[in-house]
Amino acid sequence: MSSSRETFHQLHQSGTFLLVNVHDAGTAVVAEAAGAVALGTSSAGHAYSIGRTDGQGAITRHEAIERAAQICASVRIPVSVDAENGWGHSPDEVAATIADLADAGAAGASIEDWSGDPTIGFYDRSQAQDRVLAAVETARSLPEPFVLCARAEALLYQSHLEAGSSPLQEAVARLQTFAKVGADCLYAPGLRTRPEFTTVAAEAGGPINGLIGLGSDLTMDDARQLGIRRVSVGGSLFRATMAAFQSQVRRLIDTGSFSVDPPPLTDAELRDLMPDHR
């Protein structure tokens, strides 16, 4: 029987699949029970779930790896970790992060070309390439496949690009560089339109991850037609969950009604999903 890492690697070879983004072990086991074939962590979901702001370096390397280990231990399906910038600027630090995530049970991880520090901004293409190469080499040294996803953040941090630069062209150029050094999956978060997805899928140089948030009019069938190999939902599933939570609290306060649709999961149903009960 294939391991979760082998399964995850195979999912990237053909077709289109959904990567469900979760933020803790509880949401991971519920997503698996609902039929998810693979999970991704959400740095946004993790940060907000503990009362911190996303994208501000608020989650430490230790906290992220510890959370990833909890998620991986709770499910049988593959888990890919949002490793942000690898929690370090140098290629050696990125390599160490990949090794630690593999030890934590992850089947893959993504590495960004955005430093996480506005005073630094983007890593230049050469440094960004070296960082991805270090991650790829570490992944290749592991006994089982480990899917390395390289991210180009140009569309999310456009204000930090050189004046006159095209965010889409910059993202594609960087993804092409990452593909050349062996990245298994390529990802430009911030794509919105069908032509943008089509361009990246055709020109990136390898299988792409397409972020399609909840509320989009795009479907999984659209993703297949656009050439997207892996569809993720990012932090949108967490935000939708929090919207439902907020709405229910307001309804309780405003109307005094305790009705809810769909009905809550029972304690018995949740208990049966937990790893310590299976």
pLDDT at 56: 67
Take residue 206 and report the two structure tokens written for it.
């390898």
Whether 79 has a pLDDT exceeding 90, the answer reads yes
pLDDT digits (tens, 9 = 90+) for 250-272: 999 999 999 999 999 999 999 99
Q: Is 140 exposed, middle or buried (0-12, 13-18, 19+ CB in 10 A)?
A: exposed
81-88: average pLDDT: 97
Express as a percent the part of the chain with pLDDT over 70. Answer: 99
Give this prediction's pTM: 0.96
Q: Can you spell out the DSSP letters for the chain?
A: ---HHHHHHHHTTSS-EEEEEESSHHHHHHHHHTT-S-EEE-HHHHHHHTT--TTSS-S-HHHHHHHHHHHHHH-SS-EEEE-TT-SSSSHHHHHHHHHHHHHTT-SEEEEESB-S-TTT-BPPHHHHHHHHHHHHHHHHTSSS--EEEEE--TTTSGGGSPTT--HHHHHHHHHHHHHHTT-SEEE-TT--SHHHHHHHHHHSSS-EEEE--TT-S--HHHHHHHT-SEEE-TTHHHHHHHHHHHHHHHHHHHH-----SSPPPPHHHHHHHSTTT-
Angle at 27 between CA 26 and CA 28, to 5 degrees: 90
> Sign (positive/negative) of CA torsion 103, 187, 37, 2?
negative
pLDDT at 53: 86
227-236: average pLDDT: 98
pLDDT band at 189 (very low <50, low <70, confident <90, very high): very high
CA dist 217 and 187 (Å) reads 20
* Mean pLDDT taken over the chain: 96
192-220: average pLDDT: 98
Domains annotated for the chain, with CATH where assigned, are: 4-235 (3.20.20.60)
CA dist 140 and 133 (Å) reads 10
pLDDT at 276: 83
CA dist 90 and 109 (Å) reads 17
Whether 34 has a pLDDT exceeding 60, the answer reads yes
pLDDT digits (tens, 9 = 90+) for 135-164: 999 999 999 999 999 999 999 999 999 888
